[in-house]
């Protein structure tokens, strides 16, 4: 599937229900390997959401996130649920992750355990949109008065943290004292997003203080409330993310001072999505679909040369450029297959590529135009 939508994943059933309660027109959707999604729209909007339950832990979250990205090619991937506060963030408040720590990484040496965490940073574009959502406060209409959104680091580990005096609590305090909340899935989701060039957003409601009160009556009371608050913020964020996506090509094409002409050579009937090419001129040498598809291979070759130049100019670092080449190779192979599945893989590879080079206005505009044309052929 390549229709514009946002994937939302949750670990627990109360979190799933909190998101589901904010959706309408739901229908079941089954992945070939048995994963069950529900696809619907955020109430009162046209924002489409695919919702699934991952279960607990970074590993299962990573696998399901990878599966969702490959299957839906979403505009963004979100993980929504509850978390424990580390330094007194109020119960019920929402934390949006600007960074994610995988805090259990380390090396054991004679003088003790040395921290070797992994860290992922939320993309600038997604973080800016989240700040906008928090600022205008429309999301608070359906949550208790006084509920606030916080922005900061979230620590994701492999254990349920339920103490302020344990060895693990001291470890977190010594090495990760800038984290606002702690949970068990964000690192897996962040890694899956990184490997696929996908936008990732982690949204957590504070249900406890990670202080020994988990599984208490208070925790059972706060968990559904915190999940509902996180779902309110997440669904408003999803709506804004899709609105932003509708204008990405216009933004990129105007960055250099005017409309950009993108030539798609070859023959074939192509469908263009309204909004995705606003501000650009797309020249298509087409006749009918029966005479063949547009020459995507030629456009990929031109794009490959453009990105090689950007790398030689220092605009792409070596690691990113290797990822870029990998996605171009996948796109080349996919489009050569000339099958519906190949075209879906082609679109997904282009979306990943667009995420990797989003700061390069010219190539990003070309990729967005290619995606729009390819979607019209699916």
CATH topology of domain 6-246: Rossmann fold (3.40.50)
CB-hemisphere CA count at 13 Å for 95?
A: 30
Is residue 351 classed as helix, strand or coil in its secondary structure? helix
Q: Is 223 left (phi over 0), alpha (psi -120 to 50) or beta?
A: alpha
Element (H, E) at 63: helix 58-72
Q: Tell me the torsion sign for CA atoms 360, 366, 368, 374.
A: negative
Neighbour-count burial of 263, counting CB atoms closer than 10 A to its CB (0-12 exposed, 13-18 middle, 19+ buried): middle
Tens-binned pLDDT, residue by residue, of the chain (378 aa)? 445 799 999 999 999 999 999 999 999 998 988 899 999 999 999 999 999 999 999 999 999 999 999 888 898 999 999 999 888 889 999 999 999 988 876 676 777 677 667 889 999 999 999 999 999 999 999 899 999 999 999 988 787 877 666 777 777 777 777 888 999 999 999 999 988 888 999 999 999 887 777 776 767 789 999 999 999 999 999 999 988 765 543 344 344 444 333 444 443 434 444 444 444 444 444 333 334 456 888 888 888 888 988 888 888 888 888 888 888 888 888 888 878 778 788 888 888 888 788 778 788 888 888 887 877 665
Do the Cβ atoms of 240 and 131 come closer than 8 Å?
no
Listed in order, the ranges of the chain carrying CATH 3.40.50.1580 are 6-246
Alpha-carbon distance of 78 to 97, in angstroms, equals 11
How far is it, in rounded angstroms, from Cα 252 to Cα 361?
5
Q: How far apart are the first and last CA of the chain?
A: 9
Q: Specify the residue for token string 């970074």.
A: 58
Give the DSSP H or E segment for 8: strand 6-10
Residue entry with tokens 């909007």: 45
What does DSSP say about strands 179-183 and 149-156: parallel, antiparallel, or unpaired? parallel
Angle between helices 124-136 and 217-246 (to 10 degrees): 110
At 157 the pLDDT is 79
In this prediction, residue 99 carries a pLDDT of 93
DSSP structure string for 331-342: HHHHHHH-SHHH
Please give the radius of gyration of the chain, using alpha carbons only, rounded to the nearest integer: 22
Strand pairing report for 76-85 and 6-10: parallel
Q: What is the pTM of this model?
A: 0.69
Six token digits for residue 95: 């934390």
Residue whose structure tokens are 């063949």: 292
pLDDT at 279 (0 to 100): 46
* Per-residue model confidence (pLDDT) at position 223: 92
Work out the angle at residue 194's Cα, subtended by the Cα atoms of residues 191 and 196, and round it to the nearest 5 degrees: 110
How would you class 320 by CB atoms within 10 Å of its CB: exposed for 0-12, middle for 13-18, buried for 19 or more?
middle
């Amino acid at each position: 599937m390549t229709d514009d939508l946002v994937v939302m994943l949750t670990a627990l059933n109360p979190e799933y229900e909190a998101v589901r309660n904010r959706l309408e027109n739901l229908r079941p959707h089954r992945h070939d390997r048995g994963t069950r999604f529900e696809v619907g729209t955020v109430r009162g909007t046209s924002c489409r959401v695919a919702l699934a339950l991952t279960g607990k832990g970074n590993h299962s979250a990573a696998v399901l996130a990878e599966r969702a990205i490959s299957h839906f090619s979403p505009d963004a991937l979100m993980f929504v649920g509850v978390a424990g506060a580390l330094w007194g963030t109020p119960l019920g408040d929402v934390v949006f992750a600007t960074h994610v720590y995988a805090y259990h990484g380390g090396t054991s040496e004679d003088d003790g355990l040395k921290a070797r965490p992994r860290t992922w940073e939320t993309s600038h574009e997604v973080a800016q949109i989240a700040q906008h959502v928090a600022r205008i406060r429309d999301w608070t209409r359906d949550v208790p008065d006084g509920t606030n959104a916080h922005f900061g680091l979230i620590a994701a580990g492999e254990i349920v943290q339920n103490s302020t005096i344990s060895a693990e609590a001291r470890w977190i305090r010594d090495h990760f004292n800038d984290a606002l909340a702690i949970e068990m899935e964000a690192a897996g989701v962040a890694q899956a997003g990184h490997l696929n060039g996908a936008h990732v957003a982690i949204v957590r409601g504070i249900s406890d203080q990670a202080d020994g009160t988990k599984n208490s009556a208070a925790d059972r009371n706060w968990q559904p409330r915190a999940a509902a608050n996180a779902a309110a913020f997440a669904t408003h964020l999803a709506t804004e993310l899709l609105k932003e996506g509708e204008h990405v090509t216009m933004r990129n094409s105007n960055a250099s001072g005017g409309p950009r002409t993108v030539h798609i050579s070859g023959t074939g009937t192509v469908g263009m999505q309204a909004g995705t090419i606003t501000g650009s001129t797309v020249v298509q040498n087409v006749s009918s679909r029966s005479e063949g598809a547009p020459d995507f291979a030629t456009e990929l070759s031109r794009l490959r040369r453009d990105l090689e130049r950007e790398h030689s100019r220092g605009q792409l670092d070596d690691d990113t450029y290797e990822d870029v080449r990998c996605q171009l190779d996948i796109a080349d192979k996919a489009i050569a297959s000339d099958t519906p599945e190949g075209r879906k893989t082609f679109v997904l590879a282009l979306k990943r590529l667009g995420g990797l080079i989003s700061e390069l206005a010219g190539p990003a505009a070309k990729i967005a135009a290619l995606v729009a044309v390819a979607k019209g052929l699916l």
